Amino acid sequence: MTTIASNLQQVHERIVTACTAAGRDPQSVRLLAVSKTFPAQALRAAHAAGQSAFGENYVQEAETKILALTDLRAQLEWHCIGPLQSNKTRVVAEHFDWVHSVDRLKIAQRLSDQRTPSLPPLQVCLQINVDGGANKSGVPPAEALELARAVAALPNLRLRGLMAIPEPAEGFDAQKQLFLRARAVYDELRDAGLALDTLSMGMSADLEAAIAAGSTMVRVGTAIFGAR
């Protein structure tokens, strides 16, 4: 078994253990392999081991990999998880399946306008800033409902949920408390009538706490591909 395949197995085991501890069905949590800075052959190895969903932070780098893996396109799901600038929206709209980092209506409108009509709707998560860092991407929780309603109304997009990247915290309980802030916003939006099903949060160092707080998709890079 390759190192990547072995690492994937270990991450899946962590997810199962975390779900069991939280009283959740392990099938309720998806694994997104974060492949930024790793070459296309590393993604091929992960795909050979059963992984199909990949998260990329840098649009230009991702576009190169998507083209290099054209033969697998129908079997792969590409997620844009990094901050998205206006000049990069066309590439994302044309090549990706998901975007996790929408935090402004302008970006969502561009993605909708630039989505190729022959493609399925682009699956979208709003990034929320749960700990108030002034330099962090993400819509403030108090503004999330207004933005979510506006994004949900756009053609060529399907609003799926929320994404959060809290500041690193020491220990399970502290991590969980931050993730519960995102969960509270998610529940608020669902209670307001938005049909959300995705809460994208948790990474290599804190996926257990994220799952305990209700994450449905964990974004794991280092634990799969190794240190960058």
Q: For the segment 7-16, what is each residue's pLDDT rounded down to a tens digit?
A: 999 999 999 9
Residues 21, 17: Cα–Cα separation, whole Å: 6
- Nearest of 77, 163, 159 to residue 124 by alpha carbon: 159
For 188-201, what is the mean pLDDT?
98
Vertex 204 angle, CA 37 and 54, to 5°: 45
For 182-194, what is the mean pLDDT?
98
For 108-133, what is the mean pLDDT?
94
Q: Helices marked H in the chain — which ranges?
A: 3-22, 40-48, 59-68, 89-95, 105-114, 144-152, 172-191, 207-213, 222-225
- Residue 94 in contact with residue 110, Cβ under 8 Å? no
Total domain count, the chain:
1
Give residue 44's region: left, alpha or beta (phi > 0; psi -120 to 50): alpha
- Residue 103 in contact with residue 137, Cβ under 8 Å? yes
Burial class (CB in 10 A: 0-12, 13-18, 19+), 160: buried
Split at pLDDT 50, 70, 90, the class of 54 is: very high
- 3-state secondary structure at position 218: strand
Split at pLDDT 50, 70, 90, the class of 170 is: very high
- Residue 161 in contact with residue 190, Cβ under 8 Å? no
Given a cut of 80, whether residue 5 has pLDDT beyond it is yes
Q: What spatial distance separates the first Cα and last Cα of the chain, rounded to whole Å?
A: 22
For 99-117, what is the mean pLDDT?
97
State the residue range of the domain holding 105: 3-225
Residues 101, 69: Cα–Cα separation, whole Å: 23
Average pLDDT of the chain is 96
What CATH code is carried by the domain that includes residue 96?
A: 3.20.20.10
Residues 82, 101: Cα–Cα separation, whole Å: 6
Q: For the segment 67-96, what is each residue's pLDDT rounded down to a tens digit?
A: 999 999 999 999 999 999 999 999 999 999
Q: For the segment 199-225, what is each residue's pLDDT rounded down to a tens digit?
A: 999 999 999 999 999 999 999 999 999
For 127-152, what is the mean pLDDT?
91
pLDDT of 136: 76
